[in-house]
Amino acid sequence: MSESVSVDQRPPSGRSPVIEASNVSKHFGGVFAVDDVSLSVSPGEIHGVVGENGAGKSTLMRVLAGILKPDRGTVVVDGRHLEGGDPRDALDAGLALVHQELSLVPEMTVAENILLGSTPTQAGFIKTGDLKEIAAEALKEINVSVDLDEPVARLSVALRQFVEIARAVARKPRVLILDEPTATLTPAETDYLLDMLERLARSGLAIIYISHRIPEIFSICTQVTVLRDGKHVDTVNIAEIRPDELVAKMVGRELQQEEYSPHDDRPPGDIVLRARGIRAPGVDDVDLEVRAGQIVGLGGLVGAGRTELVRAIIGADLRSAGEVSITTAGRTVRVTGYRSAVTNGLAYVPEERRVDGLALTMTVADNVALPNRGSVSQAGVLSVRKITELARRLADVVGLRPPEVQREAGDFSGGNQQKVVLAKWLGREPDVIVLDEPTRGVDVGAKAEIHRLIRELADGGTAVLVVSSDLPELLHLADVIHVMRDGHIVGTLPAAVADEKSVMSLASGEAGDLIGV
Ligand SMILES: Nc1ncnc2c1ncn2[C@@H]1O[C@H](COP(=O)(O)OP(=O)(O)OP(=O)(O)O)[C@@H](O)[C@H]1O
Ligand SMILES: [Mg+2]
């Protein structure tokens, strides 16, 4: 190839790519997770990668980072050909990956986590004395201050995410890959992160950025690559595409923007869930009730106490004070613990699906059967046929991809794992459902499906309590929003008057210190 041709092919930034992946394929059993995908990114470029759950984004990134060896294809960084399947080699070449799931060791300190796995380096062994200095420098580079000696377990989810990023930055990468870094962040924290990435890009870093949040892609990316079913659909200049066109490329069809009017004149039903004087660590004297057919939203910043509150209400964590009751069909029962809550018609979809939502080594069918033993038994014996039937039906409802209920849950993509957790609990047709971040990590198409499902549950008379950091989601779903701050409900907004501004100003109070650092 003559030189003039290669110059013409340079991306708009005018700089030649620092990373070039060509014709990469990777399969798992019969699933072609990544199928002949090429991608190149130049220094200073933020390259978005989008696609539905299971499209192959994380798999492609794990190939780039040397965690997976591709079946076919090449990865070249700065002219250096990577062998593949060797994380050390990829790291030495300048690739750093911030994983989709948090990967820090909770018992270890911030400094230890930042340096984890990076000693020795190409330059030789790092002295222990230098460790803290390097960690401090990495945190400084991303402008986050946190105590280096603090065990990670004590940090907020948001701070953990920033420590993950510091860990990647400490490796002085040429290419930084972030796999859905904002899934656990609030809008203010997200803005902070996006600014940080733009700054890093300006200093010459090449960034590959995965997100289901389309506005983020439009806010920071210059190019975007769309994957669908493992295949490369297109790579486009962000300036030359509209958000709806991008989404259409992702899902392979036009997505109907649902236009229901959620907060209609339906009279609220009777109170089903009643919580009085709830106290627990991080929760200070909260009253709350949810009526049949009503969707109550809990808004607030990460750390405001929303998850703690719902866990205390349902008895998943101990409460130090307070009364909770569930009333159905004219009968009121006191909820003394999680077991009694579930027996009395409550379903709970937790925030940390990988920790307490899912048995990763069990099949989807068996996961779904767990809370639904009653309906999948025949004469007291579990029926494999019924389990499979129920699992297939629910997999269809949540849009599981691939729709194979006999696969292990751990083999599904992040968003699909979330759908399995939802499916588990939907099978019970609960009287009360508590959902904590129900669509975290879920793609736009599936998100619309899940919203519809939640609405249908409410229309069918279920009392719904939703925690969400996704403000548009909360505003879209909830009939009424309670905003929490510092363990209290600081304000209650009916849907008719709630908007992003009113929720955020209640959530943050006067202080502008949203990031908590
Ligand atoms: N370890 C594995 N074993 C078997 N199949 C896998 C494994 N990892 C991924 N897959 C499959 O590969 C496909 C692509 O998954 P991947 O995690 O790359 O998707 P993704 O685009 O990152 O999705 P999400 O948005 O949900 O994170 C999916 O069908 C998934 O089930
Ligand atoms: Mg993924």
Assigned token pair, 79? 């002219």
The pLDDT of residue 509 is above 80: no
pLDDT at 256: 56
pLDDT, mean of residues 314-329? 92
pLDDT at 119: 54
Structure letter (DSSP) for residue 357: I
Ligand 1 lined by 162 (C-beta under 6 Å): no
* Range in 83-92, 374-383, 408-417 the model is least confident about: 374-383
Contact present, 76 and 156 (Cβ < 8 Å): no
Q: H/E element holding 10?
A: none
Provide the whole-model pTM.
0.75
**Per-residue confidence at 2, pLDDT binned at 50, 70, 90?**
very low
Ligand 1 lined by 229 (C-beta under 6 Å): no
Assigned token pair, 215? 């506005």
pLDDT at 354: 64
CB burial string 89-121: b at 16+ within 10 A, e below = bbbbbbbbbbbbebebeeeebbbbbbbeebeee
CA distance 95 to 207: 10
Nearest to 356 by CA among 326, 317, 386, 408: 317
Per-domain residue ranges of the chain = 3-94+176-251, 106-172, 269-345+434-443+465-510
The CATH superfamily label for domain 3-94+176-251 reads: P-loop containing nucleotide triphosphate hydrolases (3.40.50.300)
Mean pLDDT of all residues belonging to the chain: 86
Ligand 1 lined by 59 (C-beta under 6 Å): yes
Ligand 1 lined by 411 (C-beta under 6 Å): yes
CA distance 405 to 420: 10
pLDDT at 364: 94
> What's the CA-to-centroid distance between 419 and ligand 2, angstroms?
13
CA distance 288 to 322: 11
Provide the 3-class DSSP secondary structure of residue 236.
Answer: strand
CA distance 339 to 345: 10
**Are the folds of 3-94+176-251 and 269-345+434-443+465-510 the same?**
yes
- What does each C-alpha distance from 209 to 61, 202, 214 come to in angstroms? 10, 15, 11
The pLDDT of residue 514 is above 60: no
Structure letter (DSSP) for residue 12: T
Q: What is the CATH number of domain 269-345+434-443+465-510?
A: 3.40.50.300
**Per-residue confidence at 120, pLDDT binned at 50, 70, 90?**
very low
Q: What proportion of the chain, given as a percentage, has pLDDT over 90?
A: 51
Ligand 1 lined by 399 (C-beta under 6 Å): no
The pLDDT of residue 474 is above 50: yes
Pick the residue whose CA is nearest to atom 5 on ligand 1: 411
* Range in 62-66, 297-301, 379-383 the model is least confident about: 379-383
CA 79 to chain centre: 34
CA distance 483 to 148: 32
Pick the residue whose CA is nearest to atom 18 on ligand 1: 56
The pLDDT of residue 330 is above 80: yes
Contact present, 387 and 369 (Cβ < 8 Å): yes
* Nearest ligand (C-alpha, residue 442): 1
pLDDT, mean of residues 168-196? 90
pLDDT, mean of residues 46-60? 94
Per residue in 3-40, pLDDT (tens digit) is 333 343 444 555 789 999 999 999 998 889 999 999 99
Ligand 1 lined by 43 (C-beta under 6 Å): no
CB burial string 156-165: b at 16+ within 10 A, e below = bbbbbbbbbb
pLDDT at 1: 38
> What's the CA-to-centroid distance between 401 and ligand 2, angstroms?
13
Q: What protein residues have CB closer than 5 angstroms to ion ligand 2?
A: 58, 100, 414
> What's the CA-to-centroid distance between 291 and ligand 1, angstroms?
38
> What's the CA-to-centroid distance between 33 and ligand 1, angstroms?
6
pLDDT at 253: 65
Per residue in 211-269, pLDDT (tens digit) is 988 999 999 999 999 999 899 999 999 999 999 899 889 888 655 555 445 555 567 79
> What's the CA-to-centroid distance between 331 and ligand 1, angstroms?
45
Residue showing tokens 């490796």: 171
* Nearest ligand (C-alpha, residue 416): 1
The pLDDT of residue 83 is above 90: no
